[in-house]
Chain A
Amino acid sequence: MKEERKGRRDFMGMALGACAAVGGVGALYAAKRTWDPLPSVKAAGFTTIDLSTAKPNELVIEKWRGKPIFVLKKTPQMKENPRDIVIGSDRFLVTIGLCTHLGCIPAYQKDNLLFFCACHGGKFDTSGINEPGLPPPSPLEIPPFKIQGTKLVLGEEGPEYKKMLADGIAV
């Protein structure tokens, strides 16, 4: 084959390859975006819960972004913790009710004052702290919240939540 013709074929091959590559990357990006959560799913990410009706040592389960939210009004005997949400003189544990191991819902054992996860045996105390040596690697997560009187808006970041973030309590 003549040199001149070989150069021309190489060029055509590379041009075709480059166009196909650009198209391929574009298609991959479109595929990635198609798998993204829809805007309607994202927009439904805010929930308001009322804390004034909660009773001490009685777990209330709310729902936020499809996930269960544990709300536990603490009794005075329960240990205080910087993770507590304080409203007036009341202290609340508010966490996402999913085990930090693999996402099962731990059950609250009222008499033992602990959350027990049936999937892999994880335990959390009334401040949501995981018992060491068991599968869960970290405490129950605190969802983004904003205090409005006796109400809590989940999904919004209020000053108390931002302080927890800064202190490394929330993630």
Chain B
Amino acid sequence: MAHFEKANSLGEWFEQRIGLSTLNRVLNTEYWIPKDINFLWAMGMLLAATFGLLVISGIFLLMYYKPDSNLAFDSVNYTIMSQVGYGWLWRHIHGVGASIIFLVIYIHMFTGIYYGSYKRGRELIWLSGMALFVAFSAEAFSGYMLPWGQMSYWAGMVITNLFSGGSLEAYGLVEWIRGDYVPGDAFLTRFFMLHVLLLPLAIIGLIVFHFGALRLPHVNNQQGAEIDFKEAAELYKAGKKKESKVIPFSPVFLSKDVFVMGVYFILFFYLVFYNFEFAMDPVNFDPADGLKTPAHIYPEWYFLWSYEILRPFGKDVGLVAFGIAQLALFFLPFIDRSPNVAPAHKRGLFVVWFWVLIIDMIVLTAMGKLPPTDPTFALIGKLAAWTFLALGPILVLITSFEKKIGKGA
């Protein structure tokens, strides 16, 4: 038994037993963030907040949703939407949140790429971030199955068929994943389990790891400058806040975050209340029917770029290209051969590469939404897919010859 004095206040009582002030110091008041940042540095907190909204709205949806292929469709479209008081609110928050969170994820990712925040000690942040992207993709896909509409069913059919491995014809594996010859009741309930338990647990674990990986290398800044955090922190604590290059996470950085969050949530709830249709595909308001394929199957907007990489090729080549596209970004810290941690506009050809990547992904996204009938658009899609695949080797090449920037900061 350790020695305990009688506590003089409730705060002290907790302090003796759980050390809250130490925790607060380590996580908030003495966790140092560089001053030289902009609003793009708030995306992480936006993601955490949006994930929180998804969890809360999900809890309320869970109260009436029925994971049964006979009941699921009506439990969403009738019970939750027209019977449950404010059921529509949770569903629209959940649907809009799932869509918007990917927009913020992409902005967060490309901010990291632009400022070189994935290398020189920050590799684990990037890798855990990419793992989060994969986990969120799986979470979005499994959630998309749950209303059991036509798009749920056929997206489930197409995506699970990818696991047959093309000419490998591993239909045993596909049937194992589905628990049936086609997506059915067993399929729906297991994806329900993944969506509401296993994947959220994985996501929460990964978020903790992602934050942890940030701790030692610290947050990057607009110039990619190396900062002596110890020295800067001492200056700040000594009251020389102006001279110091850092601010504490809480309350200073967080107050800036909260401002960006405020602006973001105005937009977010505008969408939830007045413009939620973009997140509700009309085809999914028809109940699942295994004997009728919708005229045109396409995924939600955030998967379109990788869907378009799958589409213009034959089955096997398409699968390989798709696989490469899914994994390619993981390797970014290792195929970028340049030692420079600097914003893209100071890195020569890298800035061109960056914007080509963005434009190419936008083109792929646009082409992925179109039906596969127009040959001109099919050709543009094919060129964009090849461009995406070529960008990897090109990055190795241009970063190998990149001039080293002197670190005067």
Given the contacts A104-B297, A119-B297, A137-B315, A37 and B190 also touching, CB distance less than 8 Å: no
The secondary structure that dominates the B interface is loop
> Is the CB of A105 closer than 8 A to any CB of chain B?
yes
Q: How far is the CB of B354 from chain A (nearest CB, A)?
A: 31
In the complex, which residues of chain A have a beta carbon less than 8 angstroms from the beta carbon of B318? 135
A36 interfacial by beta-carbon distance below 8 Å: yes
* Chain A, interface SS category: loop
Q: Are B373 and A41 in contact (CB-based, < 8 A)?
A: no
A67 and B182 form a contact (CB under 8 A): yes
Q: Are B175 and A104 in contact (CB under 8 A)?
A: no
Does B184 have its Cβ within 8 Å of any Cβ on chain A?
Answer: yes
Contact B169 A171, beta carbon cutoff 8 Å: yes
A105→B179 CA distance, assembly (Å): 21
Residue-wise interface mask of B (355-381) relative to A, using a CB-CB cutoff of 8 A (1 in contact, 0 not): 000000000000000011100001000
Asked if A68 contacts B290 (CB within 8 A), the reply is yes
Is B295 on the interface with A (CB-CB < 8 A)?
A: yes
Report whether B296 and A101 are in contact in the complex, using a CB–CB cutoff of 8 Å: no
Q: How many Cβ-Cβ contacts under 8 Å join chain A to chain B?
A: 86
Contact of B179 among A37, A67, A103 (CB under 8 A): A37
Contact between B291 and A41 (Cβ–Cβ < 8 Å)? Answer: no
B145 to chain A, nearest CB (A): 15
A66 to B35 CA separation, bound complex (whole angstroms): 60
Please tell me if B281 contacts chain A, counting CB pairs below 8 Å.
no
Closest-CB distance, B285 to chain A (whole angstroms): 19
Against B, the Cβ 8 Å flags (1 = close, 0 = not) of A20-46 are 000000000000100111100100010
A66 and B294 alpha carbons, distance in the complex (Å): 17
The residues of B that contact A135 with a CB separation of less than 8 Å are 311, 313-315, 318
CA A100 – CA B316 in complex, angstroms?
12
Q: Which residues of B come within 8 Å of A, CB atoms?
A: 154, 157-158, 161-162, 166-167, 169, 175-182, 184, 186, 190, 290-297, 311, 313-316, 318, 371-373, 378
- Knowing that A103-B157, A119-B158, A119-B293 touch, tell me 9 more A-B residue pairs with CB under 8 angstroms: A35-B176, A36-B176, A41-B180, A66-B182, A118-B296, A118-B297, A119-B296, A121-B372, A121-B373
Closest 4 CB pairs of A and B: A66-B182, A121-B372, A65-B181, A105-B293
Query: A residues engaging B (CB < 8 A)?
Result: 32, 35-38, 41, 45, 61, 63, 65-68, 100-107, 118-121, 135-137, 171
Would you list 16 pairs from A and B whose C-beta atoms are within 8 A, ordered by A residue? A37-B181, A37-B186, A38-B179, A38-B186, A41-B180, A41-B184, A67-B181, A67-B182, A102-B162, A104-B297, A105-B291, A106-B293, A118-B295, A118-B372, A121-B373, A137-B167
